Amino acid sequence: MITVLVTQPQYDKVREVFEHAEGFQCFPAPESEPELARLVREKHAKYVIVGGAPYRNELYDAVPKGGVIARFGVGCDNIDLPRAAEKGIYCTNTPGALEQSVAECAIGMILLAARQFIAAADDCRNGLWQPQTGCELAGKTLAVIGCGAIGSRVAAIAKNGFGMSVTGVIRSAPRPDCPADRFVKNWSDAVADADFVSLHIPGSPENLNYVSAGRLKQMKPGSWLINTARGSVVDEAALYDALLSGRIGGAVSDVFRQEPYAPSGKDLRTLPNMIMTPHIGSSTREACRRIALAALKNIRLCELGDPLSMNLLNPR
């Protein structure tokens, strides 16, 4: 039996998968790095599956050479890939497992913004009957910033399902499955006439504060910013100022610089035109099952001595 430690929040999402995984003995483990590292040593575990919490220190001394730190998901900005490579530890993720769920989440957020569902529901809960006037999505323009697997699905749903006009921002040749009406290379060309701007770029160092005060000023007045990508790509202080001033209509975000969200001076939670969710983009039963199975497959491939077939983040 292959021993695998799975951080508790991830284990709880698809407990039935981990409890019945053939050939594996999966144990729930603490999410905090010091406690997880301690359990790795106690169990003599070679393989761990982790969520989005930061892992920067003890874990890399606890997991043995040739072991795997498997990311439950796609983003890897919480993993120290160079340090793992230095220690001879494989790091993997699960591409292809969550794209549909995140794309649907982004579209749902656009609907929240367009129809003011949150405000209307809150009014009803508080005993108020105040119908809100929203807008249709048909004929509106959506700027998709980053047309990878998720961005392309968002573009397809928006265009084919709602009749929106879609502008895609790309750095190279567009994917054949992205049905955007036009493609541009830069932010300003995409957002100038966009009613909604949806972010789908990685949380890499070069994208830190990508949505800056300057870029927010280039957005169409009254437009909405949608973020299901990474919190680090948005300057949250600049976003606060843009929302408070009414420069943009609002924002809906599922991701934040620090999670759980903690403001650094300017609290987005205080703004009526800011809608926040606790990083649930890929948290569907279907996606979580696919992610768990993909993470276990990577571990099995390592155990079989076939690292080249793994979804490696740090190929050596």
The one catalytic residue among 58, 259, 289, 303:
259
Q: Average pLDDT of 230-242?
A: 97
For the stretch 135-153, pLDDT in tens is 999 999 999 999 999 999 9
User: What pLDDT is stored for residue 197 in this prediction?
Assistant: 98
> What's the whole-number mean pLDDT along residues 202-209?
94
- The yes-or-no answer on residue 230 being catalytic is yes
Domains of the chain listed by start with CATH number: 2-97+284-309 (3.40.50.720), 99-276 (3.40.50.720)
Global confidence as pTM: 0.93
Whole-number percent of the chain with pLDDT over 70: 100
Is residue 236 very low, low, confident or very high in pLDDT (cuts 50, 70, 90)?
very high
104 given a catalytic annotation? no
Residue 316 has pLDDT above 70, yes or no: no
Confidence class for position 60, pLDDT limits 50, 70, 90: very high
Active-site residue identified among 71, 153, 257, 279: 279
Provide mean pLDDT across the span 247-256: 98
Q: Stretch 97-116: mean pLDDT, rounded? A: 97
Q: Is 69 helix (H, G, I), strand (E, B) or coil?
A: strand
Cβ 3 vs Cβ 13: under 8 Å: no
Write out pLDDT tens, residues 279-299: 999 999 999 999 999 999 999
Neighbouring C-beta atoms of residue 70, cutoff 10 Å: 30
Which pLDDT does position 192 carry in this prediction? Answer: 97
Known catalytic residue at 200: no
The one catalytic residue in 153, 230, 290, 300 is 230
Task: Check whether 87 has a pLDDT greater than 80.
Answer: yes
- H-only helix segments in the chain: 8-13, 15-19, 33-43, 59-62, 81-86, 99-115, 117-125, 149-156, 162, 187-191, 213-217, 236-245, 285-303
Beta carbons within 8 Å of 12's beta carbon, 6+ residues apart: 28
